[in-house]
Copies of this chain bind each other. A is one copy, B any other.
Amino acid sequence: MKKTILIFGLLILALLLLFQFSKYAVISGDLDSEFAIAIIAVVFFFVGVYLNKKSLQKQQTASEVINHQKIKDLDISKREYEVLVGISEGLSNKEIGEKLFVSESTIKTHVSNLLSKLNAKRRTQALQIAKDLNII
C-alpha cells in the first residue's frame, strides 16, 4: 500500500514535470506545439493502460495466485503437495506413483494424510477445497 502511494506520487510529479517542460520548450521555440501535445497524449494513454493493468492485477491475485502460506498452515509437505497436483491432473494413485517414481502404497499414504489435512472425504472434495483455499 505504501509502495503504491509512493509510485503514484512519483508518477504525478513526473507528469507535471513533463507538462512544464513541454510548455517551456514550446515557448522557447525548441519544440513544435502539436508535437508536444502528441507526446502528452501518448504518455497519458500509456499511464492509463499501466494503472488499469495494475488495479486489475490486484483483483486477480486474490483469486488466482496460489497461497503458499495456506499450504504451510495446513502442514502439507512438498511430497503431499505433488500428490495433490497429480490428483488435480486427473491421475490415478498408480499413475501418480509412476510419475513420482514411488509405489502406489506410498501415494495412498500421502492421499490419506492429504485428505485428513484438507478435511475432505474424497479426492474430488479435496480438489474443491484446495481450489477454494487457492492452494492449487
Q: How many angstroms between the C-alpha atoms of A124 and B88 in the bound complex?
A: 7
User: Which residues of A come within 8 Å of B, CB atoms?
Assistant: 15, 19, 23, 33-34, 37, 40-42, 44-53, 56, 87-92, 120-129
Q: Are B89 and A128 in contact (CB under 8 A)?
A: yes
Q: How many angstroms between the C-alpha atoms of A23 and B32 in the bound complex?
A: 13
- Can you offer 7 A-B residue contacts whose CB atoms are under 8 A? A41-B44, A44-B45, A88-B128, A90-B122, A90-B124, A124-B127, A127-B127
Which residue of B is nearest A38, CB measured? Answer: B19
Q: How many angstroms between the C-alpha atoms of A37 and B48 in the bound complex?
A: 16
Closest approach, in angstroms, between the C-beta of A69 and any C-beta of chain B? 23
- From B15, B53, B120, B123, A56 is in contact (CB under 8 Å) with B53
Given A23-B34, A56-B56, A127-B127; A92-B45 close (CB under 8 Å): no
